[in-house]
Homo-oligomer: A and B are copies of this chain.
């Protein structure tokens, strides 16, 4: 796994834009959630066949169960939530002659409860594992953890009491937080049970990622990523329609470019001041323009467009610098492209497609505010010509990528999304792409599946799109998803982009788009 670090990046800071981001900041909604059940690890539907099943212990009798050294209990809050956990703890038996040493694990999915016990070999920091070790010197007391967790399950594991007393628990409570409430939303009805379920879980996934900003995942990294923001905003327009939250995020990105005008792939917003990360992704940077475009189309908010167009323009200027002499994007190590977690396919044609995609949106935005876009229109034409001349293989009817002219599904999808081909050709290309590549081997994220599904809809392959959504997002539901995941590879259910099923995020915003797709492309 490669981590970018930029030692001497000079960031600008536009206080006026930051202030506007702050002005639309709103307090979160709170909801008290009570535990629903006591459960136990067993075999059943779930990742690696791990599921949680009702225990013989009944929640109503919770405070009858005394736990000593090595004992544990798993509480099920009935659904995925993001927020704060508290529980009453008392000692029973002799007076408390030692502290209580308690280990707590918070899990979105049952598999985390199993994997967290194994030695951690993940590529991301172990600190993201949702666990705490707590000593309590004085019982009875209410343990109120001050950190935020994303979970459905809470495991309470008594490391030790003493031989003379045990503990009992009462009133396990979760204070769930979100910028929005599910009950305020009329979810689109598809007339299909599975699709309706996918819509509902999409809405829950999005809700739990909508906090002070749009987070990528509330378990981890809890960060405002541009690639995720773009998709969250679209899903949000189709559901909660929280204008301010998108606006806030756009202003934050627009306020903090590098001195050359490049926009960071992500921001840290949990500190006293928002901090731009030193990770730059070619596609994510351009998605600032796409997100602004989608936002303007949704709200026709001319003031915001005028405020942020200059930032969009500087970003586009930076992106255009990466065109080579042939008017194709040449990705360099100082500005890699994401597309998908999978890295077993060439991404250079995708890069040119994403530039095309954003450039068209950029020109359209410029025209709205009467900017002279002639020069950009010219560039667009040149790129389109280069793509058709150099990347489109007329014989096979597929786009090729890289020096070895490889054909992969991502290139077709992104080119379809640019609509560089006619609608008929697009239709045919996606149909043949599915025949050739499905089931996909190297695609690992719902993020890329979103783009495949979108390309299917955009190319008028409605049935194929619906089938893909049912199969892919439905596949997660079959495995017991309460919210959709960061990574899901149907041909490898033990897949983690970070070499650890314990660290995977099981509520990840970029997987929430079916609610948007099924509304936008509804027949």
Contact = CB atoms under 8 A, between A and B. Distances in A.
Stoichiometry, as copies per complex, reads 2
A112 interface: no
Given A5-B164, A126-B160, A127-B159, A221 B135 contact: no
Interface stretch (A91-99, A328-336, A478-486): A91-99
Interface residues of A, number: 42
A94 B160 contact: no
A124 B271 contact: no
A100 interface: yes
B268 A95 contact: yes
A147 B135 contact: yes
Nearest to A103: B133
Contact of A101 (B95, B127, B163, B271): B127
Minimum-distance CB pairs A-B, first 5: A98-B125, A101-B127, A133-B133, A126-B160, A125-B162
A132 interface: yes
A429 to B, nearest CB: 38
Contacts of A126: 69, 101, 159-160
Interface in A116-166: 123-128, 132-133, 135, 137-138, 147, 159-164
A159 B276 CA distance: 26
Given A3-B164, A5-B164, A125 B99 contact: yes
A66 to B, nearest CB: 14
A137 B223 CA distance: 12
B160 A125 contact: yes
A40 interface: no
Contacts of A283: none
A41 to B, nearest CB: 23
Contact of A97 (B97, B100, B137, B268): B268
B277 A97 contact: yes
A257 to B, nearest CB: 16
A278 interface: yes
Interface of A: 1, 3, 5-6, 69, 93-101, 123-128, 132-133, 135, 137-138, 147, 159-164, 220-221, 223, 268, 270-271, 275-278
Contact of A127 (B1, B98, B221, B276): B98
B5 A160 contact: no
A277 B128 contact: no
Contacts of A133: 132-133
Contacts of A124: 98, 162
B127 A162 contact: yes
Q: Which of A1, A95, A135, A268 has the most CB of B within 10 A?
A: A95
Contacts of A6: 94
A277 B159 contact: no
A71 to B, nearest CB: 14
A275 B163 CA distance: 18
A5 B94 contact: yes
A5 B127 contact: no
Nearest to A100: B127
Contact of A278 (B3, B94, B127, B220): B94
A163 B4 CA distance: 10
A212 to B, nearest CB: 13
A277 B100 CA distance: 17
Nearest to A3: B163
A127 B165 CA distance: 13
A270 B137 contact: yes
Given A5-B93, A69-B126, A99-B125, 5 more contacts: A95-B276, A98-B220, A99-B127, A127-B160, A137-B147
B138 A270 contact: yes
Contacts of A278: 94-95, 164
A93 to B, nearest CB: 7
B96 A268 contact: yes
A114 B128 CA distance: 27
Nearest to A6: B94
Contacts of A164: 3, 5, 278
A116 to B, nearest CB: 13
A517 B137 CA distance: 35
B5 A97 contact: no
Contacts of A96: 268, 271
B221 A98 contact: yes
